[in-house]
Amino acid sequence: MNVVFDAAEKGDINTLRTLIDNGVDLNAQDAGHGYTALILAARQGHFDCVQLLIDANAALDTRDHSYGYTALTWAAMCGETACVRLLIDSNADLDILDRFDRTAFLLAAKNGHSECAQRLMDAKADVTVCYRHGVTPLMLATLTVSADVQRLLDGNADVNALDADGANALLWAVWLGKSDCAQLLINAKAKTEVRDRTSRTPLLWAARSGQANCAQLLVDARANLEAKDTTCTALSRAAFQGHTECVKVLISAKADLDSKDVFGDTPLISAVQSDHPDCVQLLIDAKADINAENGDTALMLAARDGHTECLAVLINTRADVEAQDKDGRTALMLAASEGELACVKLLADVSTIIAKLPQRKRRRISDAFTPRDERTSSSSSSSMQVTSTDTASAQPRRNQPRAARPAAPVLDTAQSRTRRRPARSPFAAASRSTGTPRGATRQASSPPRQRPRRK
């Protein structure tokens, strides 16, 4: 029997057709949640499988054991509009209540699936059941057109009334992506910091669902950019979900680029974990801390999880490839241990280039990854240990008395011809041309001028 459930959930229509031809029981429910084949196909949006099961006379209104959802309830809650339309056309019951007295319409609206909710309204689903959950006509009006919202506002509707989940009409408008309705409600002084039962504000919901227009309206209304739900800020949520337009809005509004969620992850790390290279690039361009870590840096996570596009972005923007986790493992080691060969190649190429550089150049590259304040404190502490004799000897030649200047070394002409400066970066070193070396035209009697030592 598990075969029919697997076929329906995976959308394997050929196997499902064979099982139907062999007389399988289409109305059997699994032992765990009480799902039927139709429920599993509908919640996954497998339209062809849903059509096949309906044509084979599968029961339409069987409820599962967990929440009392039917196939229509699941399709509406998951935003599977095509399956909702098909089940409505097949005369599925529109008003079956789940264990919490919610209908398919209410669940579609509360989860931001406006098209599914609209189709159920058009099919005459009972919307008055929503009133038992504190839903007001103003909240329902956000499903339709802004003119209905304006009419209710003109009639002194309570703009900040809350439903049973703690949401006001503005939250409803943001859920549904109705920016025109959201603007009217903001103008009517709707509260922008209200929180529903998930502890999300309208801005957090806009970031989660990718409603960039609504996010911009809320930013303009001075919504709190750093408000957190149970885990993170709006910027972290948008980066994790890969909503680039919302990320742009929040970056432009000066949201904290390096805020940490309850797990210690920054928005950059969140974007890398969910493999959204566009968001990674946006955050780096905005000067997010590329080497921030929570045990692992963003580069280590990208290498470990095989996110090659994110890894390439981080390498190209000079993330520290030699950083180590608490066990002393670099990003290259982590990629190798997980068998991520593409990541290994990217990191091995860069590591090889760095290893071939002179020690002085490697120190410069290492300094580039070290915060400025750390470099300043380390250099100041080391300078205090230099003796007066060492200080005098370390001065540039032009600042010493003429008699005290050391004799300039005379370089062999052949040496002079082959002398070559190290490249400016490990990436430039890999593509350095083989033209005439710098200093090849100098004469042996005129040695290169020694530059002062860098302080």
Mean pLDDT within 48-67: 95
How far, rounded to the nearest angstrom, does the alpha carbon of residue 235 sit from its chain's CA centroid?
9
| 200-289 topology per CATH | 1.25.40
pLDDT at 39 (0 to 100) = 97
pLDDT at 110 (0 to 100) = 86
- Residue 438 above 60 pLDDT? no
pLDDT at 143 (0 to 100) = 86
Which residue ranges make up each domain of the chain?
1-128, 134-191, 200-289, 295-368
CA distance 357 to 367: 14
Same CATH fold assignment for domains 1-128 and 134-191: yes
Q: Does residue 371 contact residue 291 with C-beta atoms inside 8 Å?
A: no
Q: Does residue 217 contact residue 183 with C-beta atoms inside 8 Å?
A: yes
CA distance 391 to 41: 79
> Three-state SS for 289?
coil
% of the chain surpassing 90 pLDDT: 67
Q: Does residue 172 contact residue 136 with C-beta atoms inside 8 Å?
A: no
Binned at pLDDT 50, 70 and 90, residue 355 comes out as low
Q: Cα separations (Å) of 194 from 85, 88, 259?
A: 34, 35, 22
Average pLDDT, rounded, for the chain: 83
pLDDT tens string 377-411: 444 444 444 344 344 444 444 444 444 444 444 44
Residue-by-residue DSSP string for 102-126 = --HHHHHHHTT-HHHHHHHHHTT--
DSSP secondary structure letter of residue 233 = -
| 134-191 topology per CATH | 1.25.40
CA distance 35 to 29: 5
User: What tokens does 247 get?
Assistant: 């990320």
Report CA dihedral (280, 246, 262, 227) to the nearest 10 degrees: 150
| 295-368 topology per CATH | 1.25.40
Binned at pLDDT 50, 70 and 90, residue 352 comes out as low
CA distance 172 to 181: 9
Q: Does residue 298 contact residue 268 with C-beta atoms inside 8 Å?
A: yes
% of the chain surpassing 70 pLDDT: 77
pLDDT at 242 (0 to 100) = 97
Mean pLDDT within 131-135: 89
> Three-state SS for 297?
strand
Strand ranges in 102-147 using DSSP code E only, listed in sequence order: none
- Residue 169 above 60 pLDDT? yes
Taking the CA atoms of the chain, what radius of gyration do you get in angstroms?
32
Q: Does residue 285 contact residue 320 with C-beta atoms inside 8 Å?
A: no
CATH of 1-128 among 1.25.40.20, 1.10.760.10, 1.20.1250.20, 3.40.50.1460: 1.25.40.20
Mean pLDDT within 93-106: 94
